[in-house]
Homo-oligomer: A and B are copies of this chain.
Amino acid sequence: MNWHNALTQILKIKYPLVQAPMLGVSTPEMVAAVSNEGGLGSLPVGLQSPEKTRELIIKTKTLTDKPFAVNLFAHDIPTIEPTQTQAIQEQLMRISEKYGVAYTPVDLTQIRHFSYQEQLDVLIEEKIPVVSFTFGVLDQPSIERLHAHGMILIGTATSVREAVYLENIGIDIITAQGIEAGGHRGTFLFDEPLPQIGLISLLPQVVDAVKRPVLAAGGITDPRAFKAAMILGAQGVQVGTAFIGSDESLAITPYKEQLRKSQDTDTVLTRAFSGRWARGIRNSFHDEIQQLSLEYPAYPILNTLTAPIRIASQKQGNTQLTTLWAGQSAAMATQKSSAEILRSLIIGVEQITT
Q: Please determine whether B204 and A329 come into contact, CB atoms closer than 8 angstroms.
A: yes
Q: Please determine whether A331 and B205 come into contact, CB atoms closer than 8 angstroms.
A: yes
- Measured CA separation A228–B220 after assembly (Å): 13
* A94 interface hit (Cβ, 8 Å): no
In terms of DSSP, what is the predominant structure of the interface of chain A? Answer: loop
**Residue of A195, A204, A219, A265 with highest tally of chain B CB at under 10 A:** A265
Q: Please determine whether B218 and A200 come into contact, CB atoms closer than 8 angstroms.
A: yes
Contacts of A218 in B (CB 8 A): 198, 200-201
> What 1/0 flags go to A173-193 for Cβ under 8 Å of B?
000001110000000001001
**Residue of A195, A218, A227, A231 with highest tally of chain B CB at under 10 A:** A231
A residues 201-228 touching B (CB-CB < 8 Å): 201-202, 204-205, 218-220, 222, 224-225, 227-228
Q: Please determine whether A328 and B228 come into contact, CB atoms closer than 8 angstroms.
A: no
Q: Can you list 13 A-B pairs, Cβ within 8 angstroms, ordered by A?
A: A159-B264, A161-B263, A178-B200, A195-B264, A196-B196, A198-B198, A198-B218, A200-B229, A201-B218, A204-B225, A205-B264, A205-B331, A354-B354
Q: Please determine whether B197 and A200 come into contact, CB atoms closer than 8 angstroms.
A: no
How far apart are A46's CB and chain B's nearest CB, in angstroms? 25
Number of copies of this chain that the complex holds: 2
Q: When A225-B232, A227-B231, A265-B190 are in contact, do A198 and B199 touch as well, CB less than 8 Å? A: yes
Q: Please determine whether A228 and B202 come into contact, CB atoms closer than 8 angstroms.
A: no
A-side interface residues toward B, CB under 8 Å?
159-161, 178-180, 190, 193, 195-202, 204-205, 218-220, 222, 224-225, 227-233, 263-265, 268, 327-329, 331-332, 352, 354
How far apart are A331's CB and chain B's nearest CB, in angstroms? 6
Partner of A201, one of B204, B227, B232, B327: B327
Q: Please determine whether A265 and B327 come into contact, CB atoms closer than 8 angstroms.
A: no
Q: When A228-B228, A232-B224, A233-B224 are in contact, do A268 and B198 touch as well, CB less than 8 Å? A: no
Contacts of A222 in B (CB 8 A): 204
Q: Please determine whether A204 and B332 come into contact, CB atoms closer than 8 angstroms.
A: yes
Contacts of A205 in B (CB 8 A): 264, 329, 331-332
Q: Please determine whether A264 and B201 come into contact, CB atoms closer than 8 angstroms.
A: yes
**Residue of A179, A264, A327, A331 with highest tally of chain B CB at under 10 A:** A264
Contacts of A225 in B (CB 8 A): 200-201, 204, 232
Q: Please determine whether A264 and B332 come into contact, CB atoms closer than 8 angstroms.
A: no
- Measured CA separation A263–B202 after assembly (Å): 10
Q: Please determine whether A178 and B198 come into contact, CB atoms closer than 8 angstroms.
A: yes
- Measured CA separation A229–B199 after assembly (Å): 12
Contacts of A264 in B (CB 8 A): 159-160, 195, 197, 201-202, 205
